[in-house]
């Protein structure tokens, strides 16, 4: 699994979690994921009523780059300009289209929108300004090397306080999410956890700083038949070097994949369909060419027959001409002999 840097957020009381998002949204992920994360952040800020220049300030990105993304979102049907065309009016506001609203509504955890289950995903935040009353350390359990862990719940999300001798962290765990779009599921889960961190700061007068993704997030397919067969027959977990495998998450045997494998996995059916369609198109083209070739062969055969007939006729005429010349030669020879006798 790649190591990711998704959000570098400076959380303070009363400030929205999406502020000051760093330009290096991803490290080791595809450019497609990078762009998608940026687009979702822009759509959320537009939903809040922010204008173009304010969006650039919130995301800590150049205004030209944000303007580029805004124009792309307009072209793709996610945004519409609310100011008159052709006028240099500032600030420039945008509005969400139905397509964008539908995209943002997919964040609902209760709605199962696909067969892949995104889970085991957590973000790690360093506590910059603490509130000892939030998940108090005396309620925790000791771990190795003097580390204390305190478990709790905030708005239905699992939260852990990890306290060492020198630093303290909060671990925020995402709720399982079903989706057939791995990058979107990961992006929305990240935004939800980031919003949760902001709420914790606001409610408990704390300050957090994003550190990293904790653990290895996975996508599981509970409908995978081989995973069910393996679990029923052998009943043991199997993990491969790339992080994928088979286990009994949530009490059900499923195929588990990393995010890169999940992206390729959901494309399999579409790839098979595309290959089948391409084969049908190639077959139709082959039949068309074969039909044209057969017609060309018929025309060629007819031409060969006509040429053969002409050659036969020419040969017959040549034979008759040779015979006529032979008779004429014999007549001339006979005439010479008769003249010589006279």
| In a domain? residue 15 | yes
Contact 128, 147 (CB under 8 A): no
Half-sphere exposure of 156 (CA within 13 A, CB side): 6
212-220: average pLDDT: 79
Answer whether residue 176 is part of any domain: no
Which pLDDT score, from 0 to 100, does residue 18 have? Answer: 37
In CATH, what number is assigned to the domain containing residue 62? Answer: 1.10.10.10
Q: Is residue 102 over pLDDT 80?
A: no
Task: Give the C-alpha separation, 211 to 6, whole Å.
Answer: 10
**Residue 46's domain spans which residues?**
1-105
Extract the tokens encoding 333. Answer: 């020879």
Share of the chain above pLDDT 70, in %: 77
- Position 10 scores a pLDDT of 35
Mean pLDDT along residues 213-237 = 79
Asked if residue 296 belongs to a domain, the reply is no
Rg of the chain taking only CA atoms, in angstroms: 39
The residue among 52, 76, 105 that closes a domain is: 105
CA neighbor of 168 nearest in space, from 197, 128, 199, 213: 128
- Distance, in Å, from the CA atom of 106 to the CA atom of 100, rounded to the nearest integer, reads 10
In a domain, 95, yes or no: yes
Q: Does residue 153 lie within any of the structural domains?
A: no
168-192 burial: b if 16+ Cβ within 10 Å, else e? bbbbbbbbbbbbebbbbbbbbbbbb
Last residue of a domain, one of 231, 266, 301: 266
Residue 97 falls inside a structural domain = yes
54: in domain: yes
pLDDT confidence tier of residue 264, bands split at 50, 70 and 90? confident
pLDDT confidence tier of residue 108, bands split at 50, 70 and 90: very low
Question: Domain total for the chain?
Answer: 2
Last residue of a domain, one of 208, 236, 266: 266
Query: Does any domain span residue 183?
Result: no
């Amino acid at each position: 699994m790649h190591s990711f840097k998704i959000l570098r957020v400076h959380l303070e009381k009363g400030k929205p979690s999406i502020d000051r998002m760093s330009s290096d949204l991803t490290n080791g992920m595809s450019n497609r994921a990078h762009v998608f994360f940026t687009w979702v952040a822009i759509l959320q800020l537009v939903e809040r009523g922010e204008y173009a220049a304010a969006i650039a300030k919130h995301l800590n990105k150049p205004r030209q780059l944000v303007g580029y993304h805004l124009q792309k979102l307009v072209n793709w049907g996610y945004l519409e300009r609310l100011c008159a065309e052709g006028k240099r009016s500032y600030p420039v506001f945008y509005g969400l289209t139905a397509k964008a609203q539908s995209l943002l509504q997919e964040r609902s955890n209760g709605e199962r929108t696909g067969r892949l289950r995104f889970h085991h995903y957590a973000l790690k935040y360093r506590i910059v300004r603490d509130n000892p009353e939030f998940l108090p350390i005396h309620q925790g359990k000791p771990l190795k090397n003097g580390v204390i862990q305190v478990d709790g719940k905030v708005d239905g999300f699992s939260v852990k306080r990890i306290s060492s001798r020198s630093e303290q962290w909060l671990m925020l765990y995402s709720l399982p999410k079903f989706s057939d779009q791995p990058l979107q599921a990961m992006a929305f889960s990240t935004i939800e956890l980031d919003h949760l961190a902001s709420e914790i700061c606001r409610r408990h007068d704390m300050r957090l700083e994003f550190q990293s993704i904790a653990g290895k997030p996975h996508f599981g397919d509970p409908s995978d038949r081989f995973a069910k067969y393996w679990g029923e027959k052998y009943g043991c977990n199997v993990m491969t070097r790339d992080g994928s495998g088979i286990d009994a998450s949530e009490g059900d045997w499923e195929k588990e994949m990393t995010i890169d494998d999940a992206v390729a996995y959901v494309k399999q059916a579409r790839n098979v369909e595309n290959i089948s369609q391409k084969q049908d198109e190639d077959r139709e083209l082959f039949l068309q060419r074969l039909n044209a070739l057969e017609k060309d062969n018929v025309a060629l055969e007819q031409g060969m027959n006509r040429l053969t007939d002409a050659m036969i006729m020419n040969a017959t005429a040549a034979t008759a001409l040779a015979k006529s010349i032979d008779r004429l030669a014999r007549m001339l020879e006979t005439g010479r002999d008769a003249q010589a006798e006279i």
